[in-house]
Amino acid sequence: MYKKHDKNHFRHVDQAIKYMNEHYHDSTLTLKKVAEFIHVSTPYLSNLFRLEKGLILGIILWKSG
């Protein structure tokens, strides 16, 4: 189960946000690329992002493209 106090979860989401901010102009940016960059699976990253930020990461990437 997800625990709010687990700093590794926050670190993964922070790394994903940083990567997306640095590569937002890349039209080939995908959830898979972001997950691979921070060495986690796509479903895991998507779930962490939803739990921490209340947003669905795939939709964010789709709308920014």
Q: What is the CATH number of the domain that holds 12?
A: 1.10.10.60
Please report whether residue 2 resides in a domain.
no
In a domain, 52, yes or no: yes
- 1: in domain: no
Ramachandran assignment for 3, one of left (phi > 0), alpha (psi -120 to 50 degrees), beta (any other): beta
- On the question of pLDDT at 3 being above 60, the answer is no
Confidence of residue 1 (pLDDT cuts 50, 70, 90): very low
* Range among 25-29, 37-41, 54-58 rated most confident: 37-41
59 contacts 23 by C-beta, under 8 angstroms: no
CB 58 within 8 A of CB 31: yes
Res 53: pLDDT:
80
Here the tokens at position 23 are 């590569």
Q: Is residue 28 part of a domain?
A: yes
Answer yes or no: is pLDDT of 48 > 80.
yes
Give the pLDDT of residue 54.
81
Range(s) of the domain holding residue 46:
7-64
Is 37 part of any domain? yes
Q: Domain count for the chain, please give it.
A: 1
- The reported pLDDT for the residue numbered 60 is 58
